[in-house]
Structure 1
């Protein structure tokens, strides 16, 4: 009769849990110019092409770069001619780990999620996947230099954008660095190319210095991988330049490199080793003789796992050195003691009672505890199983503990990075969209008021160009603080992207939201900023209508903000 395992942890996430449900789609005969306009205004990296709700292709920034290199007339070309087809799809029940392998195997950056009828349900990007994967995929002994791409496309100052485009196309790279003597000082990305094509720049005449992003974000080749991931999340970018100690460019690391480099093989190998050791332990203890040299070797080799073995009366008969170190209790103080007495020194007694009851039912039991000793706190994962004779009679218990403190801390950091914009402290776009969808559904269900405000810092690019990105960052932080101090506790602030913010105001009519926006505008205008006289913001306001979707609500407030910009900036417009 096989063992039944009782697990006490969160279930593995599926694509249904993390997908972006509101997908922008176009028909195959739609004009490519329309796709470029949507990608630029929405700041999205792809458009899914559908027929009768079924995905038939996908148009990405990579497709745009390839088409621009061929000098395609976007105004006269439809999506069918430029899209990638067939499109890679997966059902919403797919686990994020299976999706991870699919990204790596298919070498894709977008995965279209479909329902049972094959209709599109959403899209998963590499950013979504990396934000939600278990931290064990990123904290194994991995350095940036191990998985970075050493093939770097760079061009000198004075080059034309057309040259950069050709390099990106030839190398199938998502970016080109602008460098002097291999010291990078600027970057052009696929997203930049989308902007330039949308703005109708002449790529044959525009010099890269005029449109590049500078300074670039870099990471050292010997830095841990999770630091690169954190930097990407913090700055909302998909790639980092990799430099040596002398500042020389040695490579580039992108989200694609992260997905390809982290197959999870090492993690699975460790799990297999642990399973094998536990099987050896069970066999060696089955007759419950005094520990042999063989058993002692197995247990002592488990340096990362604390092992405590008891007899049927729950008296401790053996513990390995890792148990002494992890629990900070000497072996002499554990051997011969009942496990319940040790529980008083750090192992939760109630969890042990539940665990022993489960083992008596021929089950295993897992739980987590927070163990504190000598002013130090550890997060421990615990597993209790039974020692049985060849006749399957219960003869004792084995408690195995693993210190997962570092993993939990990094998980918390990644969770925070996946929710909050680190620079401003506002919700990031992904989280804000979830909040907007939740509040929209609630307001429509209860027929209550809900308003959305979109704010944009006027002439922000000039601030960055004139005073530098550090000053620009301080302006973003100051504006976020002004908004935060002026709204109610029930209102929600999100950074929508770049210099744009969103304020979600529940139980608020359009009239009151407009008044709030005007208050925010005045507060920003009255604030004193160093280096220049003032900073102003333009604001769009809209209220929820009974048939609104998230997309129509965002589109309307975006249009209101456009009105404010078009009518002179530093003003509030409502739609």
Structure 2
């Protein structure tokens, strides 16, 4: 047999469900219950469960004298309580107890009918060892019993069952049990007798009544009930008098309480282990006595009386200022005790709520958890300082810096970029280039964005732009770099633009000066060449007239050339 932890409703469900429609007559429905040996009928309409008829309903209908031809619509139990097939055994059993019912309609993920789980299904899948956890028979014995004489009419018994909400009456004579009338007997009586109300209990009771002694163990009692296929057993005293009744319903009810307590204890143990393992401390504050109760983990976290005093005083102030419309309190405390430097400061984060109030609404008890967040606080401080340094750097750098997402929407920018568009950062974030510049320039910006994203590396270009704040034009050298998240997914483009106008102007001036020098050089060389030619002509004339050449340097320069 599988353990409770492994069982689900799918493991214990009865899939052969007897169904009727809402228009089915009471007498027909009761007859079907008897013929099919079932404790309930499921009422379907349009293939969906809309109601249920149980043995308890039959008792009520018989007591009220409902005409046999009356349709079930309006008489059936509705709406039905449904549960998922994968619901675990314990949760399913608790659902029964919570609603005070004995049948669960089991459905699948599409809300289609799977079957029905009854109390008997739950009991049959529990071993004796489970029931042995109920150590005393006394805990599952019902002492609030109705003892009726054998000649009592059935109508009186039904009235007693309905009024007391008991599923049975004991037929007894002089304190000794003769038999029992249960909800299970009613469908059979209505199906076989036209007027059963006047019948004496002697004729309709189930007899003999299975009995056990007061000292019997719960496990033995359960085994005898299972062997005899009964739901009720009398508990007999030493002299044979009836003391009480053990019923299947009472067994499962008390077992449910035990299982719930075990679950709570198990959860508390796991929670305590989890809190210790994760370093989470717990606290409880009594408002009347002003007493603070701290867990061992919290005491270890506080490390001494000074910090404990800081924590207690801070929490008292927080609780004193708690507003009724604020169900949860939350705060971070800086503990002054045991501190020598601010970087060693310890912080405790507190979460909690008032768990108990008096009749006037005043807080009686508050409880919660405490977590050492010193490391987190230091990391937050370091991160904030780093952000401040980075922001200062970005804000003071003379370059234009901006960040766009992959669709060209601005996410961030620095003050120099604000000058370019002529508006503050808040007015830029969430907009695109098309909101600030003409379409041709915006198209150019987006083209370079896409180029950077597609290339996977830096894209560099130069472009003339006009600053909107003062109208001056500048030549920018722009570098665009694709930005990716920790998983390597593209998230946008980072842009950095440097004003290279002055450098450009210097280059232009230098080029002009070089050109001017070349003109002067060319002009000077041309004059010297003309003078040299004239000297050669003079020398030639002198030689022609029999004279000595005057310009010897002209001939030498000529040979050199």
- TM-score, normalised on structure 2? 0.46
1 or 2 for the larger relative contact order (CA 8 Å, sep ≥6)?
Answer: 1
- TM-score, normalised on structure 1? 0.45
